[in-house]
Amino acid sequence: MNEKQRKEQAQIKQVSSVDRKSSQDKPLSEKTTEDFAHYFQTTYTPPDIKKARKRGRDKIEVHYDFEIPEEMSKIGKGKKFLIRTYGCQMNEHDTEVMAGILSEMGYESTLDTDDADIILLNTCAIRENAENKVFGELGHLKPLKLEKPDLIIGVCGCMSQQESVVNRIMQKHQQVDLIFGTHNIHRLPDLIKEAMFSKVQVVEVWSKEGDIIENLPKVRHGQIKAWVNIMYGCDKFCTYCIVPMTRGKERSRRPEDIIREVRHLAAQGYQEVTLLGQNVNAYGKDFDDIEYRFADLMNDMHKIDIPRVRFTTSHPRDFDDHLIEVLAKGGNLLDHIHLPVQSGSSEILRKMNRKYTRESYLELVAKIKKAIPNVTLTTDIIVGFPNETDEQFEETMTLMEEVGFEAAYTFIYSPREGTPAAVKKDDVPMEVKKERLYRLNDLVNKQSAESMDAYEGKVVKVLVEGESKKDETVLAGYTEKNKVVNFKGPKSIIGKIVDVKITDTKTWSLNGELVEKTAEVSN
Ligand code: 5AD
Ligand code: SF4
The pLDDT value given to residue 47: 74
Separation of CA 243 and ligand 1 centre (Å): 9
Beta carbon of 315 within 6 Å of any ligand 2 atom: yes
How far separated are the first and last CA of the chain, in Å rounded? 50
Separation of CA 264 and ligand 2 centre (Å): 30
Task: Give the residue from 468, 469, 460, 458 showing the smallest Cα distance to 497.
Answer: 460
Beta carbon of 410 within 6 Å of any ligand 1 atom: no
- Which ligand neighbours the alpha carbon of 281 most closely? 2
Separation of CA 123 and ligand 2 centre (Å): 17
CA angle 276, 280, 286 (to 5 degrees): 115
Separation of CA 250 and ligand 2 centre (Å): 11
Atom of ligand 2 nearest to the CA of 234: 3
Longest distance between any two alpha carbons in the chain, whole Å: 74
Separation of CA 310 and ligand 2 centre (Å): 19
CA distance 369 to 149: 59
Domains and their CATH numbers in the chain: 44-204 (3.40.50.12160), 217-453 (3.80.30.20), 459-514 (2.40.50.140)
Provide the 8-state DSSP code for 227. Answer: E
Atom of ligand 2 nearest to the CA of 242: 1
Beta carbon of 317 within 6 Å of any ligand 2 atom: no
The pLDDT value given to residue 3: 45
**Phi-psi group of 215: left, alpha or beta (phi > 0 → left; psi -120 to 50 → alpha; rest → beta):** left
- Which ligand neighbours the alpha carbon of 422 most closely? 1
Q: Which residues of the chain have pLDDT under 50?
A: 1-44, 518-523
Beta carbon of 126 within 6 Å of any ligand 1 atom: yes
CA distance 252 to 287: 8
The pLDDT value given to residue 36: 40
Contact in structure between 18 and 201 (CB atoms under 8 Å): yes
Beta carbon of 243 within 6 Å of any ligand 2 atom: yes
Separation of CA 278 and ligand 2 centre (Å): 7
CA distance 272 to 187: 30
Q: Whose CA is nearest to atom 2 of ligand 2?
A: 238
Separation of CA 127 and ligand 1 centre (Å): 7
φ, ψ at 12 (rounded to 5°): -105, -5
* Binding site listing for [4Fe-4S] cluster: 88, 124, 158, 234, 238, 241
CA distance 117 to 135: 20
Atom of ligand 1 nearest to the CA of 419: 10
Beta strand extents in 366-450 (DSSP E only): 376-383, 407-412
Separation of CA 488 and ligand 1 centre (Å): 37
Task: Give the residue from 128, 86, 133 showing the smallest Cα distance to 415.
Answer: 128
Contact in structure between 268 and 229 (CB atoms under 8 Å): no
CA angle 402, 404, 407 (to 5 degrees): 135
φ, ψ at 322 (rounded to 5°): -60, -40
Q: At what angle do helices 390-403 and 358-371 cross, to 10 degrees?
A: 10
Residues near 225 by Cβ (< 8 Å), separated by ≥ 6? Answer: 270, 271, 272, 273, 274, 463, 465
CA distance 207 to 11: 11
Residues near 136 by Cβ (< 8 Å), separated by ≥ 6? Answer: none
Atom of ligand 2 nearest to the CA of 354: 2
* Cα→Cα distances 433→411, 415, 438, Å: 10, 13, 9
- Which ligand neighbours the alpha carbon of 128 most closely? 1
Beta carbon of 384 within 6 Å of any ligand 1 atom: no
Residue of 124, 239, 240, 437 best suited for mutating to test ligand 1, as the one with most atoms within 8 Å of CB: 240
State CA 189 to chain mean position distance. Answer: 23
- Which ligand neighbours the alpha carbon of 88 most closely? 1
